Chains A and B, each alone.
Chain A
Amino acid sequence: MRAAGLSEKAVAIAPGIHWVGALDPHLRSFDIILRTANGTTYNAYVVRGSEGVAVIDTVKENFSDDFFRRLESVAGYDEITTIVLNHLEPDHSGALPELLRRAPQARVYLSSRAQMMLKALLKPSGGGAPDYTPVTTGDEVDLGGRTLHFLHTPYLHWPDTQCTYVVEEGVLFSGDVFGCHFCGARLFNDSVGDFRFSFEYYYAHIMRPFREHILDAVSLIEPLELATIAPAHGPILRHLPREYLHRYRELATPRLYNEARSEKTLVIFYLSAYGNTRAMAEAIAAGAERIGGVRVSLYDLEGGDAEIFTDLVEEADGLAFGSPTINADAVKPIWDLLSSLTSVNIKGKLGVAFGSYGWSGEAVRLIEDRLRGLKMRVPVEGLRVKLVPDPGELDECGALGEQIARHLTGRIEERVIDMSELVG
């Protein structure tokens, strides 16, 4: 597929460094979850030194012809000594099997966590894994006047991701981080037009769940002299590259850091048809407040939308979900919220379920299963109340709130139990 306005040859981005990627202007949906109004680019690069030539990443398989044509315009296959894989997702490794066939002498450099993925990706091509070297921060490859310096930056957005920095030119091949799904044939950020919406959208949908890893990576990159950030998708950032680094730090920094530094936060979401689950929610909140050290917020899911609640979930330490049981299930807004949380990191947050029911009360256990599936910890058994909570049951709700607060603030009472006492 060709895009107007771009040569079929490689494009220089720095002395001895070329873009050899491909444009995909007609793509509208990426990885099922992302939309794009003008497609994307698959960015691959070539670095030439006096002693060797390195290829940095490849492209999606059906764009291989564009990639190889551009690659051939700046390097012969027998010159390639080095292949760097910053990220093994198929949109960057699609042309790898063919590249390895054409340049069998090249040694592959990738992160430690990428090794198993490399073997799995090359299964269909029938060959074994090529010669490869796992690398980490500080490892270097000397191409002769061009030094590739590796940075271990995992989980941006897969476990295998890394960045590669060309020391002499200040060019950072960042993989998906700092990228976006935006297709501009002019390639560079100072000439493609306004792509900021795409940059922000990409962060929000791809990188946001990994914000702790983003901050680690940004800290690793900040001390570098940066002339250009060359990501694996979207515009090459040669104008004010540090601005994009700053923006990532800003986006990844927890927003409640200043306001709630000394307190834990508990957010209680609920839905209530007749006020019973709401009464439980309010009693749980009061119980948690009694313990102290916990900031409690109550939200009725009928009064907002999942996007706003997702922001709250991201910042909270503990989350409680209250739902009545209707036709043997939790109600839809709860599932809508619990199916919207893949864009934030909730691993290890404390989760609790509760709710009033009329006949069978399945909602609480179903929600607990989902919370565990989302990798939250569920240390306190949820609470079910048949129809209207009486004063004793409201006391139980209060006690549940106290327990949640104790867990959140590390004031739990140590106990010893036998495995046979555990349910499920």
Chain B
Amino acid sequence: MPKAKVTFQDIGVSVTVPAGTRLIEVSEKVGAGITYGCREGECCTCLTRIVSGAENLAAPSVLEDQVLKDNLAPRAHRLACQAQILGGDVVVRPA
């Protein structure tokens, strides 16, 4: 299975993950500072800054796009409960 690497910059931990993993599946287990509310892409609690490798994430869904817009999210920010890692390296930190 193709692998990817996600680095949680706030705790200095990088995790190798299978391609297709969502950030939410890793960040809590590793103890990163990203926090969650609804876990369904609605509340924007898990807004996360993509420090680098944004191109290695699946494009946001219509719902995620709308929620980011409604919450005035800055550029290069995604919802950790939605963002799926496709491959390569991604570096993130809590917004």
Contacts and interface: CB of A to CB of B under 8 A. Distances in A.
Contacts, number: 72
Interface of B: 5, 11-18, 21, 25-26, 28-33, 35-37, 42, 44-45, 69-72, 94
Interface stretch (A21-29, A111-119, A392-400): A111-119
Contacts of B13: 379, 414-417
A32 interface: no
Nearest to B42: A116
Contacts of A424: 29
Given A377-B32, A412-B11, A113 B71 contact: yes
A183 to B, nearest CB: 33
List the 6 closest pairs (A to B, CB-CB), nearest first: A379-B31, A375-B35, A422-B29, A414-B12, A377-B33, A416-B14
B26 A422 contact: yes
A169 to B, nearest CB: 29
Contacts of A112: 69-72
A375 B31 CA distance: 11
A152 to B, nearest CB: 8
A419 B14 contact: no
A186 interface: no
Contact of A380 (B25, B28, B31): B31
Nearest to B43: A159
Nearest to B46: A375
A412 B11 CA distance: 7
B89 to A, nearest CB: 11
Contacts of A415: 12-14
A378 B10 CA distance: 12
Contact of A419 (B18, B36, B45): B18
Interface in A181-220: none
Nearest to A134: B70
A112 B31 CA distance: 32
Q: Which of A347, A376, A419 has the most CB of B within 10 A?
A: A419
A112 B71 CA distance: 7
Q: Which of A113, A372, A417, A422 has the most CB of B within 10 A?
A: A422
Given A416-B16, A419-B16, 5 more contacts: A113-B72, A379-B30, A414-B14, A419-B25, A423-B29
A2 to B, nearest CB: 39
A372 B30 CA distance: 12
Q: Which of B25, B29, B70 has the most CB of A within 10 A?
A: B70
